[in-house]
Amino acid sequence: MKVLIVFAHPEPKSFNGALKDTAVSTLKALGHEVQVSDLYRLNWRADLSADDFTGDRLNDDFLDLSAEQEQMFTTSTPPTPDVHAEQQKVLWCDMVIFQYPMWWFGMPAILKGWVDRVMTRGFAYATGRKYDTGMFKGKKAMISTTTGTASSLYEPDGVDGAINHILWPIHNGIFRYLGFDVLPPHVSWMPSRVSADERQAYLDAYATRLCQIENTEPLFFHPFADYGPDQRLKPGVIARSGFQWNPGAGQAHDEAADEFTRKIASAG
């Protein structure tokens, strides 16, 4: 398997760096090929702007980003060299791992900027090529992240809310939207506030998880057949995603959330 790790932490000696290094060594020992995009070392520019378009613009007076991206793709106009290099890595890999610290309930801006600039319209998605029919159908994707606080805060009744809800914008809004099979996340809880032995146990657990990666069951996402013309779950469909729930099926939110949380726990 070919694995791309997109690493987003400014300090190579951080625990995120240790997780990245563990993934590289473990996966290579298993015979997988690995590439790492270290975004801070690449001095990655996070903002998507007019500077991303190298050819003639559709409209020089108004910047319609998706239209310009599609124009660039359909005319085979090359993207900027940095974006082109990352897109080639995405095409090369069978699996993408996002390695990052949880900042403000999301990923660092540099990683969001990687998504904004690399996963362009035409290259990564298009009309009729999303979710079930996404461009990257057959590839896998996974989050490995760290938190600054304990796991208890990320339970459904925790002050920060359920971790699967917090990760939904990436799981569904990026990975699944582009067609990836989304594997359960690996979360290392507040590594800066535990002992050295506990941090090593985190790394060992991650290595064990990666040894099972090819046989890990993806998270469940509803197929298009479960949705009506309005792209809402049909009245009789029981939501199983963990973030969705279906009042039309008489379902309360916690029923779906509990099932999803159990699945993540069993994979971790």
pTM of the model: 0.91
For residue range 38-77, what is the model confidence (pLDDT) as tens digits? 999 999 999 999 999 998 899 999 999 999 999 998 998 9
Residue 172 in this model has a pLDDT that exceeds 90: yes
| pLDDT given for residue 109 in this prediction | 97
Domains of the chain, residue spans: 2-216, 220-268
> What percent of the chain has pLDDT above 70?
94
What is the average pLDDT score of the chain?
Answer: 91
260 pLDDT band, cuts 50/70/90, is low
The token duo for 64 is 């319609």
What would the pLDDT profile of 20-43 be if each residue is shown by its tens digit? 999 999 999 999 999 999 999 999
Angle (deg, nearest 10), helices 196-211 and 15-29: 40
Cβ proximity of 251 and 239 under 8 Å: yes
Position of tokens 């600039």? 117
Residue 211 CB contacts under 8 Å (≥ 6 apart), including other chains: 26, 30
- The more confident residue out of 208 and 160 is 208
Rounded-to-integer distance, Cα 101 and Cα 11, Å: 11
Confidence at residue 155, expressed as pLDDT on a 0 to 100 scale: 84
Confidence label for 257 from pLDDT (cuts 50, 70 and 90): low
CB 34 within 8 A of CB 97: no
What pLDDT does residue 158 have? 86
Q: What is the pLDDT of residues 173-198, one digit of tens each?
A: 999 999 999 999 999 998 989 899 99
- pLDDT confidence bin for 229, thresholds 50/70/90: very high
| Cα–Cα distance, 197 to 202 (Å, whole number) | 9
Give the whole-angstrom CA distance, residue 96 versus residue 1: 11
2-216 CATH pick, 3.40.50.360, 3.10.20.30, 3.30.70.2740, 3.40.1110.10: 3.40.50.360
Whether 268 shows a pLDDT value over 80: the answer reads: no
According to the model, what pLDDT value does residue 192 have? 87
Mean pLDDT for the stretch of residues 124-142: 94
